Amino acid sequence: MQNDKNDDHAGKPNEKTSIIIDKKQYFAPKPQMTGAELKALAGIVGDYILYKKVPGQGDDVKIKDETLVPLKDGDHFYSVLATLNPGGDHATA
């Protein structure tokens, strides 16, 4: 019997889950990762919020740093600044 406990891939030896974060492909080392781990995998630093894209017209899901996310091949995520300043310095009165 093979080792059923594989910390990296939960029963799928030598396989990693292909996910997309900010339009770049990454291979998740675990079948579930926290929002903080996903941001670290993609090199996202600073005050950013991670979202998981939801197909269709549903709202995308905000992923908190402590949220554990089950991953599937093809999952798409994107990051946005936590504090948006519409118009910024370029706004005119």
In this predicted model, what pLDDT tens digit does every residue of 2-17 receive, in sequence order? 444 444 444 455 578 9
Calculate mean pLDDT across residues 17-22.
97
Distance (Å, whole) CA 20 – CA 2: 30
Confidence band of 84 (pLDDT split at 50, 70, 90): low
In this predicted model, what pLDDT tens digit does every residue of 33-74 receive, in sequence order? 999 999 999 999 999 999 999 988 889 999 999 999 999 999
**Taking the domains of the chain in order of start, what are their residue ranges?**
17-83
Distance (Å, whole) CA 74 – CA 55: 11
- For residue 2, what pLDDT is reported? 41
The answer to whether 12 touches 19, Cβ cutoff 8 Å, is no
Q: Which CATH class is domain 17-83?
A: mainly beta
